[in-house]
Every structure is written in structure tokens, then in C-alpha cells.
Amino acid sequence: MITATIWGVRHSRKQIAMASVRFERVTKQYDNGYVAVKDLNLEICDREFLVLVGPSGCGKTTSLRMLAGLESISSGNLYIDERPVNELPPKDRDIAMVFQSYALYPHMSVFDNMAFSLELQGISKADIQTRVQQAAQQLGIETLLERKPKQLSGGQRQRVAVGRAIVRNPSAFLMDEPLSNLDAKLRVQARAELNKLHKRLGTTFIYVTHDQVEAMTMGSRIAIMNQGILQQVDTPQTIYEKPNNIFVAGFLGSPSMNFLNATIQHHNDQLTIKTDSFSFPLARSQDSISHYIDRPVILGIRPESIHHPNYLPPGITPTDIKAEVSVVERMGHELIVYATLTDDSEIVSRLDPRATIVPGEIIALQLDSHRIHLFDCDSEQTI
């Protein structure tokens, strides 16, 4: 049974080394010409919890493996506490890595798995015994020390992998999708426990995931990657509210942001956004987007910025959007509604659960016109 203290580890902060990390124009290109990471510049502060997030194949795990010393660097420089580590072997980098597969030795007991790296460092048996026992007790796996990995559940294996990292007292923890093998309920609990662990240890965490929920809820900052290129680095809320480009805007948020073709028009000193289905006044400075007048743009609307007319939140400036409802997903705390606009464009909205909506209904949804995003059609960058 999983308890609320699965990772309730208490370490003295003065026992833990601290570390900042810096990627300086780091590139990884394989022999076949494939570029997994291109010109990565990223600074990770001491004690920060930074999450590298992006779709599969975006270069996030490769970046982590280069930092760990498990992948060579094609060009650029890597620093840990301003010490160049390009040629430093993994064992000398003072980091600990938790893998997606847990990477436990199947022929070793839980105790031996946790103790193995300490034995390689030449730590005394008495000290190893103390460290492993303390970590096992605090992780709630002290009764499992004699078992082999095949005798453990997924959650228990995860705790062993984390415990193996903790006993080393590293200057930085590197985690490569460590929760992906857990069931949905345990993942929610594990996210909270990892955050608590980070606060207790007071050391640097660098966490890789493709799960945007993990990124939004765990990281003090998020670094979003796509096709080997860093797209944006900032706090979760800033990235959500002010994405740099269409990729970032569409990647964060569930359901994803709606994107519609639009133009900016100017009439009687008023800027207007016009799509093939609706239009509304644009509450923005004319100077900042004057060169986009009468040019096509991409209009971005998050699903939570579209409301049911009977349940409008206070303080918004609504715009009617007529649409035919196609699918209604009742989530309990909200409705996810898929609908088709008059020009056959598809939109999705998150509505108040009290709303009564059925597929096939024609409804005048309400857009909060002050919470929109505009993107350049060619560069896909935010306007």
C-alpha cells in the first residue's frame, strides 16, 4: 500500500552539495547526420526544479543524457557549477539519475541495488548500511530490502530507484520520465511527493517528461523543446499565458488551444479581428501590430476562454460564436465541448458543468475577446 510519505526523505542540507548547470551552444549530431539537439543554451540555477518537456524525439532525454555523461557532445560546452564537464566521466560529475525503466539490477536484492554505487565509490560497509537503512525506512521499503526487483510492484521499484539516487547525496538529480510506468492515481500522488522531496533536499532537480501536466505542476521553470531546439524557458504560468509561438501555445494546455485563420482590419480608428465565422474589436495598441493590418494572422483561443452564455464569469467582454455542437464530454467538474463553426472550422471549449448541451444543438458560445493570442502566419511567432 502506498502511503502519503512514500518519498518523505529528510536529509541535512549541509550534507548535500549544490549545483548550477549550464548548457552553452550544445549540439548532438549522430553519425548518420541526425541532429538530436541543436545549439542548446540553457542555465539551470542552484536548487532549481527545472522540467524539460516536449513531444517524443524533441531532444529532451538526449540533453539529460549529455549532462549525465551517457552521451557525448558534438559541439558546445557543459558546465556544472561553472566546471566544464564535457570530458568528465559520469562517476565524477556528482549527479544521480533516475531512469524511466528504473534500471534496477534484476539479480541483486533491493539493498544491493541501493548500495551498489556506494560500493564503487569505496564507501565503508558500515556507512553503506547506515545510508541504505535510513533511506529505506524513510521511503517505506525497509521490509523489501531482501527482495529482488521482480518481486516488487511498479511503485515499489520506483521508490528503490529514487532511494538509490538519494543515498549518494548528489549535487543534482536527473530524472528521465520516472513516473511514466505508474498508474494514473499513483502518478498524481508521486508528483506531489517529488515536489516535497525537492524542498527537503534543497538540491537541483532536472526532470524530463512529455507530460504537460507534470511540467506545469512540478517545475519552478519549464524548458520546452521541439525538434532538438529550445522553444521557450520560463515559469509555467508565464509560458501558459504568454507563449512564444504556435508550438508552445498548442503544446501546453488540455484540450489544446484553438487556432483559426483571421485577418486584422482597421476602420474608424478601430482594429478588428475577423474570421470567416465571427469578428470582434481588438483591444490592443495599433502601433504594435499596424503592419499586420489586412494581412492574414493566426488567432489562438484557449478552450477556457470560451463560455456558455448562461454562465459567464464576471469582468469579461464577450463575443458571440455560433457553433453546432458535435461532441460533449462530461468530466464532472467541467464540460469539454467540441463544435463546428459556420465556416466548418472546429473548436473546443471548457464550459461550466451546469450547462445543458446536447450534440447537434446550435449554440451561441461566448468568447472572452480580451484573452486571445495572435501569431504570424509565416514565422508562427507570437505577435
Query: Cell 483559426, residue?
Result: 260
Q: What is the CATH number of domain 13-250?
A: 3.40.50.300
pLDDT of 147 reads 96
CA atoms of 15 and 36, how far apart (whole Å): 36
**Average confidence (pLDDT) over 118-130:** 91
Query: What contacts 24+ positions apart, CB below 8 Å, involve 152-155?
Result: 152/110, 154/181, 154/182, 154/183, 154/186, 155/2, 155/6, 155/182, 155/186, 155/190
The answer to whether 247 and 212 have CB atoms below 8 angstroms apart is no
Longest dimension (CA), the chain: 82
In the chain, list all ranges with CATH 3.40.50.300: 13-250
CA atoms of 372 and 208, how far apart (whole Å): 30
**Average confidence (pLDDT) over 185-198:** 83
**pLDDT, tens digit, for every residue of 242-263?**
999 999 999 999 999 999 999 9
Report the topology of domain 258-375.
Answer: OB fold (Dihydrolipoamide Acetyltransferase, E2P) (2.40.50)
Residue 12 has pLDDT above 50, yes or no: no
Residue 6 has pLDDT above 50, yes or no: no
CA atoms of 332 and 352, how far apart (whole Å): 10
3-state secondary structure of 168: coil
Grid cell, residue 290, equals: 499596424
**pLDDT, tens digit, for every residue of 62-121?**
999 999 999 999 999 999 999 999 999 998 898 988 887 778 999 999 999 999 989 988
Query: Lowest mean pLDDT: which of 60-69, 146-155, 177-186, 298-307?
Result: 177-186
